[in-house]
Amino acid sequence: MPEPQSGLDRRMFLRATAVSGAALTVGGPAIPSASATPSASAAPGGFPNYTYVRTLLTPSKLKYNPTGEIIFPTIRGVYDKLANPLGRYYLYYAPHDAPGGICLAYGNSLEGPFTEYPSNPIVSNRWDPHYSVSHVSSPHVLWKEDVKEFWLYFHGENTTTRLARSKDGIHFTYDKVVLSTSMMPAGTTETSYARVFQYDLPSRGAHYVMLFMTNNTTDHRDIGWGWSADGRNWTFAQTPLVRHSDVGAVNVGGPHLLTRGGSAFVVYNKDKASGGDIMITEVGKDFSLRKHLGVFYNSRSSAPENGRAAAPSFGTDGGVPYMIYEAGERLAGSIAMARG
């Protein structure tokens, strides 16, 4: 994207006092929400404007680095869930290309630094007797309060999203396949990059929503969605929640759910050739609305973004909102942090 004037990102820094009512939770109720009172410098939907601060993880500096690339961060606060955590925050990420591998880093602040877990990957591409695949990737971790467990959703292959469960956020037990192309319309070729959120849809008897990337024989990626009463057994909409063509993109992916003012919003990224920005669409309290609000976060042309920001995860630290995201060319970037 073009550089803003004066060398500054066009998204202004939003002072913490302007979002003092925000509740962008990490690892608790999993859906960030913003203050009910919009700021003059708010992003679409009244959410904070996020400004890039620094890179948190770079592949070349990691001990486990089989492919020279990492993607899809998920940040979770564990200080109120574990008696003796490695740090206040756990940051999950993964290489994508074979063999991939679900990885963990930990730190005491969302500002960093984060320390690589020495025994990565914590989940590999072979887990006997459950699967043996070319790669596993795209970790999303949900804190399941009713059972006091961390639930890890991840893909491998791109056709299959799986669930594993853990008491400590490090050592996982395999559970089951929760999504595959066989559950979607004929011609579906990918169902991956899933994130799961606690969200009530009373008319569907659901307490959880899944957002994911779907592809078909046209090779244009869209945002799919599903709902569940328990987070394990799912029903999936057979038409996309957000189509690539809705926002003038070749592909869209990396979806995350936000809430504000009694409504739900989906943020997601465009491919770099289509602008490389993170976009936002309001879907309404019951997911029946499709109001495309435009750019949520404008990717910068300078490093580390180089025209692409993607796969955001959100949290707060000391009352300040943060976005942890992919920065840079797909499969050639880093994990970065922006502050609201």
pLDDT tens digit string along 133-165?
A: 999 999 999 999 999 999 999 999 999 999 999
Lowest mean pLDDT across 192-196, 272-276, 329-333: 329-333
Task: Tell me the C-alpha distance between 228 and 235, whole Å.
Answer: 6
Is 45 in a helix, a strand, or coil?
helix
Mean pLDDT of 297-305: 95
Non-local CB neighbours of 157 within 8 Å, separated by 6+ positions: 133, 134, 135
How would you class 97 by CB atoms within 10 Å of its CB: exposed for 0-12, middle for 13-18, buried for 19 or more? middle
How would you class 155 by CB atoms within 10 Å of its CB: exposed for 0-12, middle for 13-18, buried for 19 or more? buried
Query: What share of the chain in percent tops pLDDT 90?
Result: 86
At residue 12, the pLDDT reads: 31
At residue 38, the pLDDT reads: 37
Task: Tell me the C-alpha distance between 65 and 87, whole Å.
Answer: 22
At residue 16, the pLDDT reads: 31
pLDDT band at 332 (very low <50, low <70, confident <90, very high): confident
pLDDT of 58 above 80: yes
Lowest mean pLDDT across 3-12, 199-208, 258-267: 3-12
113 touches 131 (CB < 8 A):
no
pLDDT of 14 above 50: no
Tokens of 163: 């669930």
> Which one-letter DSSP state was computed for residue 332?
S
**How many helices (DSSP H) and strands (DSSP E) are in the chain?**
0, 22
pLDDT tens digit string along 61-79?
A: 999 999 999 999 999 999 9
* Of residues 13, 1, 41, the one with CA closest to residue 322: 13
pTM: 0.89
Instruction: Kindly report the number of other CB atoms within 10 A of residue 286's CB atom.
Output: 12
pLDDT band at 41 (very low <50, low <70, confident <90, very high): low
At residue 89, the pLDDT reads: 98
Q: What φ, ψ does residue 307 adopt, rounded to 5°? A: 85, 10
* Of residues 128, 127, 186, 183, the one with CA closest to residue 160: 183
pLDDT band at 330 (very low <50, low <70, confident <90, very high): confident
At residue 182, the pLDDT reads: 98
Residue spans of alpha helices (H) in 12-170? none
Task: Tell me the C-alpha distance between 137 and 147, whole Å.
Answer: 25
Non-local CB neighbours of 264 within 8 Å, separated by 6+ positions: 31, 199, 257, 258, 282, 283, 284, 285, 287
Mean pLDDT of 22-43: 44
Tokens of 10: 């066009």
At residue 1, the pLDDT reads: 35
Q: Which residue has the higher pLDDT, 7 or 204?
A: 204
